[in-house]
Amino acid sequence: MAFTVSSSPHDRIPLDTPTLMRRVCYCLLPGIAAQWWFFGSGSLVQILLAVLTAYGAEALVLKLRARSLHPLTDNSALLSALLIGIAVPPLAPWWLVVIGTGFAIIVAKQLYGGIGQNLFNPAMVAYVLLLVSFPVQMTSWLPPLELQPYPVSMADSVSAIFTGFTLDGFSPHQLRELADGTTLATPLDTLKTGFTQGNTANEILANPIFAGLAGMGWQWVNLAYLAGGLLMLRLRLISWTIPLAILLSLFVASLVGFLMAPDGTAGPTLHLLSGATMLGAFFIATDPVSAATTFKGRLVYGALIGLLIYLIRTFGGYPDAIAFAVLLANLCVPMIDALTKPTTYGAAR
């Protein structure tokens, strides 16, 4: 019987890449279902557009590179498309998700050589591109359905995405307004704007969008992604080191900040259960290609991301900082791995 010798890393789980990626996609389903339940069916349309664009862009690049189309079956394009579709506001114009997904596949993935060669998480590169280039469209999230004055059906979502108006003639901006004309934003954006205007935390938290633990709808979306993340841990698709380090670092930083300035910063609950915290901790930062590889390195990598999330959310210009924190930590991965490399067995200490 032949003895096969392969280079590291040695995967202890007998899963090929397509199976691994497909199972991660399955674990995203609870969070996707929660987004659909609380924010409408627009996210499903955005995901479908992202998936079609991802496979089309990957096939085009592989054809131009005279490569086999076999990589289309590894499900990596599908996972990137899901992450981008999730991150785009439900009623954002159709071209937004097409631009972002095309950039993620063509530039952030294929121009580096394809799966396993990219330095940065492709989905987060696309998100930052869209956020910097089209900030208005990327921050136009709808309030939860129970706060929306006008119900939005699937047909309305499709119409708004492709024409800019629902079947009844409402624009996404009008759908974001309550009956009194107050425009609702995400909890983190509302908090950021309130602090900028000089309001205290108690005054800001009186906004109806903050009902519950950390924001109406958003807290359940985060708990759904947490459930999917725990399932990935149970299936041994990811290691516990990076998610735990991120959440613990973010908790400690936000707790210290809240104790030092309770009227000027958000508490740990809001940081952990709002925005894309759980999605980032379990599904984005754990990307095996762009994350740290050593045990200690993963802890440092995760702690750095958690700290950067808090600092950018508190002192930076963007309310949710997952993408920026992950990309900045990706830059540090070579140094983190070099400094945390375990000593070779038998080597002099």
Tell me what pLDDT residue 48 has: 97
The sign of the dihedral angle between the CA atoms of 83, 88, 93, 96 is negative
Separation between Cα atoms, residue 330 and residue 289, nearest integer Å: 10
Separation between Cα atoms, residue 172 and residue 179, nearest integer Å: 15
Tell me what pLDDT residue 17 has: 85
Asked, as a colleague might, if the bond just before 208 is cis with ω within 30 of 0, I would say no
The backbone torsions φ and ψ at residue 318, rounded to the nearest 5 degrees and listed phi first, read -115, 130
Residues linked to residue 177 through DSSP beta bridges, in sequence order: 183
Tell me what pLDDT residue 254 has: 93
At 67, is the secondary structure helix, strand, or coil?
coil
Tell me what pLDDT residue 201 has: 76
Confidence class for position 318, pLDDT limits 50, 70, 90:
confident
pLDDT tens readout for residues 220-255: 999 999 999 999 999 999 999 999 999 999 999 999
Of residues 205 and 261, which shows the higher confidence score?
A: 261
349 pLDDT more than 80: no
Separation between Cα atoms, residue 333 and residue 301, nearest integer Å: 7
pLDDT tens readout for residues 146-202: 777 778 889 999 999 999 998 888 888 887 776 444 556 678 888 888 888 888 777
Tell me what pLDDT residue 221 has: 93
Tell me what pLDDT residue 348 has: 56
Tell me what pLDDT residue 178 has: 62
For the chain, the domains span 16-142+144-182, 187-337
Separation between Cα atoms, residue 306 and residue 207, nearest integer Å: 26
pLDDT tens readout for residues 287-300: 988 899 999 999 99
pLDDT tens readout for residues 38-66: 988 999 999 999 999 999 999 999 998 88
- List all residues 6 or more positions away from 267 whose beta carbon is below 8 Å from its beta carbon: 254, 255, 258
10 pLDDT more than 80: no
193 near 185, Cβ under 8 Å?
yes
Percent of the chain with pLDDT over 70: 92
pLDDT tens readout for residues 98-118: 999 999 999 999 888 888 788
**Average pLDDT of the chain to the nearest whole number:** 87
Residues linked to residue 183 through DSSP beta bridges, in sequence order: 177
Task: Report, as an integer, the average pLDDT of 113-127.
Answer: 87
Tell me what pLDDT residue 333 has: 93
